[in-house]
Structure 1
Amino acid sequence: GGHRPLGGTPAAPDAPVLPGVKTIIAVASGKGGVGKSTTAVNLAVGLGMEGLKTGLLDADIHGPSLHRMLGTTGKPEVVEGRLQPVQAWGIRAVSLGMLVDEKAAMIWRGPMVMGAINQLLTDVDWGDLDVMVVDLPPGTGDAHLSLTQKVPLSGAVIVSTPQDIALIDARRGVTMFEKVKVPVLGLVENMSYFCCPNCGHNTELFGHGGARREAEAMGVPFLGEVPLLADIRSSADSGVPLVIGAPQSEGGKAWRAIAHTVATAIQTMQA
């Protein structure tokens, strides 16, 4: 059964992986701190608002945070030895953060990380889904390779901030998915500009437009830009995704537009 850090009985070797999931989309970034997980949460909930049956898998094993961003508490129910996804904001979700103490340090080497991802794919009753969004850890390491080897990814969304130092790593992410034959659905420019809540003036703290230019240079779609807002930080901490809590805010409208674009791409794939 290989490494099984979460315990339990392994599935049969020939058991299908995610048999009821039509499309699997990865959300990735070349580096940490660019808002990848916040994007994954709002994208997944936004896809649900577009009418798609959506699941959200937190594959960031060393830094699971989606349980907090979704406002879930307690551990997932286990039925006949299989985990049941938690229902939150119209989607189904599972995160390692739902299974371990928040203070626990996940000091796991590559085989343990890959084993945990495998269990979250095979030991969970995901059911029938139009799309699963997978929040990958930063970089281009074991988790990414494990996922691409285990399931057929339909596409990837790359998140970056506008400055050159972040775009260098975003470029690596695009290249990695191209090498493993996974289509890049597009780049998202997060923290694109800061909206002053007092005067409404926009300040380009990290520059502006870098991800759009990089997308054009690499020949991949540009999905949109999301501003840097205090509401985005507070929504993540409160467990209410911005597309639900403040849908008419600049950030809420930006993520809804990105979700609509991705939903259109998914429906084209499934046609």
Structure 2
Amino acid sequence: GLLTAGNDAMVWRGPMASQAITQMLTQTRWGTAEKPLDVLVVDLPPGTGDVQLTLIQKTPLDGAVIVSTPQEVALADARRAHTLFEKVGVLTLGLIENMSGEIFGKGGAEAEAARLGVPYLGDLPLSASVREGGDAGVPVTVAVPFGEAAERFDAVALAMIEALSL
């Protein structure tokens, strides 16, 4: 969203996207001597393609967190991602269930985490406040810091930090 204007499309093949990831990782100051970077989270779309492989090959990773909605079709992608990370020696820190609740279901990622033998890091609800905050550019943890959705995000963040420290 910050690289293009308005409705312009990013028309990039795998090598171009991989080069952009490499450039971002290697040519950005992610911390300073006075204030070193604690954690860098890179949010990727589902899949096991060029961008994921480039990130794995070019970056020392402490682990991967897999985010999935509760339905089986999404969990199939989560299984593939876990298999990819296993094959390349990247620890799966755990699974998070996104959009959990009445519409998409609940518990699919938790059950999948148990099947894969990885930690379940929590669930994030499908919530109007999360969508509204995203549309407005104000995270729900800022807009409604003591609401249920914000508390769930905080719990998942703490679980991720705990998983990193193990």
TM-score if structure 1 supplies the norm length? 0.57
Of 93, 97, 102, 1:185 maps to: 93
Q: Does structure 1 conserve the Cα–Cα contact (< 8 Å) formed by 2:4 and 2:10?
A: no
Structure 1 runs of 4+ off > 6 angstroms?
Answer: none
Offset of residue 157 of structure 1: 0.9
**Partner in structure 2 of residue 160 of structure 1:** 68
CA RMSD, Structure 1 to Structure 2 (Å):
1.3
Of 137, 140, 159, 1:261 maps to: 159
Query: How far apart in 1 are the matches of 2:156 and 2:11?
Result: 35
Residue type at the aligned position of 1:108: W
**Partner in structure 2 of residue 220 of structure 1:** 118
Name the count of aligned residue pairs: 162
Of 113, 123, 128, 1:230 maps to: 128
Q: Does structure 1 conserve the Cα–Cα contact (< 8 Å) formed by 2:69 and 2:97?
A: yes
Offset of residue 265 of structure 1: 2.7
Query: How far apart in 1 are the matches of 2:91 and 2:72?
Result: 23
Query: How far apart in 2 are the matches of 1:227 and 1:133?
Result: 20
SS, match of residue 223 in structure 1: strand
**Partner in structure 2 of residue 241 of structure 1:** 139
Offset of residue 145 of structure 1: 0.4
Of 38, 50, 70, 1:130 maps to: 38
Compare CA radii of gyration and give the structure with the larger one.
1
| 1:140 and 2:48 correspond | yes
| 1:106 and 2:10 correspond | yes
SS, match of residue 152 in structure 1: coil
Offset of residue 106 of structure 1: 1.0
Query: How far apart in 2 are the matches of 1:126 and 1:154?
Result: 16
Once the two structures are superposed, residues 158-203 of structure 1 have per-residue CA deviations (whole angstroms, 9 ceiling, x without a partner) of 111111111111111111111111111111111111xxxxxxxxxx
Ranked by relative contact order (alpha carbons within 8 Å, sequence separation 6 or more), the top structure is 1
Q: Percent identity?
A: 55
Q: Does structure 2 conserve the Cα–Cα contact (< 8 Å) formed by 1:137 and 1:143?
A: no
Q: Does structure 1 conserve the Cα–Cα contact (< 8 Å) formed by 2:46 and 2:77?
A: no
Residue type at the aligned position of 2:161: A
- Whichever structure has more strand as a proportion of its residues is 1
Query: How far apart in 1 are the matches of 2:120 and 2:154?
Result: 15
- Whichever structure has more helix as a proportion of its residues is 2
Query: How far apart in 2 are the matches of 1:162 and 1:156?
Result: 19
Once the two structures are superposed, residues 203-248 of structure 1 have per-residue CA deviations (whole angstroms, 9 ceiling, x without a partner) of x222221111110011000011111111010010111111121122
Residue type at the aligned position of 2:30: W
Query: How far apart in 1 are the matches of 2:23 and 2:54?
Result: 12
Counterparts in 2 of 1:13-162, with a 5 A limit?
97-127=1-31, 128-162=36-70
Query: How far apart in 2 are the matches of 1:137 and 1:212?
Result: 20
Offset of residue 264 of structure 1: 2.3
Q: Does structure 2 conserve the Cα–Cα contact (< 8 Å) formed by 1:140 and 1:176?
A: yes
Unaligned runs of 5+ in 1: 1-96, 194-203
